Chain A
Amino acid sequence: MLNYVLKRALMALPVMLAAATLVFLLIHSIPGDPVDLILGEQAMQVDREELSQELGLDRPLFSQYGAFLAGLSSGDWGRSLFDNRPVLSHIREHAGATIVLAVCAMFVAVAIAIPAGVFAAVRKGGFLDQAAMVASLVGISVPNFWLGPVLILVFAVELGWLPISGRESWASLILPAFTLGFGLSAMLSRLTRASMIDELGRGYVTTARAKGLSERAVILKHAFRNALNPVITIVGLEVGSLLAGAIITERIFNWPGIGSLLMDSINRRDYPLVQGCILVIAFAYVVVNAVTDCVYRFVDPRVKI
């Protein structure tokens, strides 16, 4: 097991390196001079040279790349052009809010999807099954940048039950978490259903029924446990997409996470901070995927790399 964890961690490294390289190349392939983009075209020559030096743009590309990677690995991710504070301290301030949001959204998604998927599989072909599956297709098609404003209108404006935006209390977490988790719940319920139907058709289920177990025990103790494996994998993969989706949700609800930070820094053309936010989301995605693989291996020892 320890061997596997080490091997999986080593596999994640080249992917992170590739992600960092991609972001580096993106910044250096911007059409036009980044200094022009940041300062505007009428800037003074002195200011331009100073900024160009500060960003290291006057050095050859390869040495810039080396310095970039060295900085990343030693924890020096550069400084914000806006307030000159280290990029990492900005990120640290905002990371907590995004993690809380993503975890709660995942909880919402799983809490809706697993009961719905299991129920639909047990009643396969019935009216409720079909209704649930059409509902989930509709759910996949709802853009979260539309669902969010609609939820605000209904629950915050009309009913006045929940705050409109910001992060004051736990109540302000409910609408963002639901907005972010909803699309995922639709997808997960389809997956749970398919996996459950697959397991219910297997021999061991017939055996369990034949030895006189209650239908409840057959479904929950036998089929459900095995049906959960593919669901765990997808849940792990989707944590990363939730982090990316949080960019939109945070913007709608003014939630002070990495996504809001990213959008603010894009609007301010604060490229070091933009780069930091993108990298931190990408790295989190890679790490979560690696952890999921390890968990999956722990749950189902048959899995090999």
Chain B
Amino acid sequence: MKTVTGKIGVAIVAALVLAAIFAPSIAPCDPAAQDFSLSFAGPSMSHPFGNDADGRDILSRIIYGTRISLGIGISVVGISLVAGCLVGLVAGYSGGWIDRIFVFVADVFLSFPGFLFAVAVAAFLRPSISNVVIILCIKGWVTYARLVRGQAMVLKEREFVSAARAMGARTSRVLLRHLFPNMLGPVIVNASFGLAGVIMVESALSFLGLGVPVDVPSWGAMIEQGTQYLLLAPHLSIFPGLAIMLVVLGFNFLGDGLRDELTSTAHRGGA
């Protein structure tokens, strides 16, 4: 990472991943433990971010919340990326009617604002973590598919592809071993921004009560519970909001840094 923002991004993301993995040893309290004598207690030495309506420790819930946010983010981006890349490779490489069908389907998906689509599907499903992942994947793959299709259409005319084919490589080998490695840069950059987007949408859905179930410590749901007591105890919503901002900012910085890094190496190394 050459840029300062890129370095900050790496640091934030690394810290979050560590927080998610080691949540049980880092968190000072059990995130589900209720203590009604501490309801709405403000920040103190023993509970740095204060306590919520049920007297649960907000810092511990935020630390466990990284598992939810990152877990959903990584699942959605992972599934969308694999599915999207496969569809995009096939559509871009084969062209013809397969490509035309793909373009039409992609146009239909992109004719909806992403968030409206998520709300529309969530409205008809019961809140659960797997439903959130499914909802975000239904549209998520399109971005990667379009990106990869565009790259495949350009790259398939290059000599190294003709060379591979002339040597008798099967289509699947050409796609996965020759085309795909050459488009990894933009795909990775997109995945980083994609993680920021997915985490934001998941929090927004949970804020509306359409995301994860109520008892799960999701940052969006924590803000929503907090807004009910906004005048009484603002710290209930403030801290989870800062956590969302930090994560989204981290992945945006990382994406910015990766873009500078990967596009310049592509120039130096050649395809």
Which chain A residues have a beta carbon within 8 Å of chain B's beta carbons?
Answer: 15, 18-19, 22-23, 26-27, 29-31, 134, 137-138, 140-143, 145-146, 149-150, 152-153, 157, 240-241, 243-245, 247-248, 251-252, 262-263, 266-267, 271, 274, 278, 281-282, 285-286, 289
CB A185 to nearest CB in B, in angstroms, measures 16
C-alpha gap A262/B200 in the complex (Å): 20
Of A18, A141, A149, A241, the contact of B249 (CB 8 Å cutoff): A141
| Contact assessment for A137 and B249 in the assembled complex, using a CB-CB cutoff below 8 Å | yes
Contact with A along B1-15 (1 / 0, CB 8 A): 000010000000000
- B203 at the A interface (CB under 8 A): yes
The answer, among B120, B200, B210, for a CB contact under 8 Å with A143, is: B200
Q: Which of the residues B210, B223, B248 comes within 8 Å of A145, measured between beta carbons?
A: B223
> B120 touches which one: A26, A251, A285 (CB < 8 A)?
A26
Checking B107, B108, B123, B204 against A266 with a beta-carbon cut-off of 8 angstroms, the contacting residue is B123
- Whether the pair A143, B113 counts as a contact (CB closer than 8 A) is no
Complex Cα spacing A100 to B73, Å:
34
Which of A19, A140, A157 contacts B112, CB < 8 Å? A19
Contact A244 B245 (CB under 8 A): no
A266–B114 Cα distance when bound, in Å, is: 18
Interface size on B, residues (CB 8 A): 42
Complex CA distance for A247 and B201, rounded to whole angstroms: 13
Q: Are B249 and A15 in contact (CB-based, < 8 A)? A: no
Please name the residue on chain A nearest to B241 by beta carbon: A146
Interface residue ranges of B153-197 to A (CB < 8 Å):
196
Contact A274-B241, Cβ < 8 Å, known A18-B108, A141-B196, A149-B223: no
Please state if B116 and A278 are interface contacts (CB–CB under 8 Å).
yes
Interchain CA distance A133-B48 in the complex, whole Å: 32
Interface bits B239-271 vs A (CB < 8 Å: 1, else 0): 011001100110011001000000000000000
Q: Are A137 and B121 in contact (CB under 8 A)?
A: no
Q: In the complex, A22→B111 CA distance in Å?
A: 12
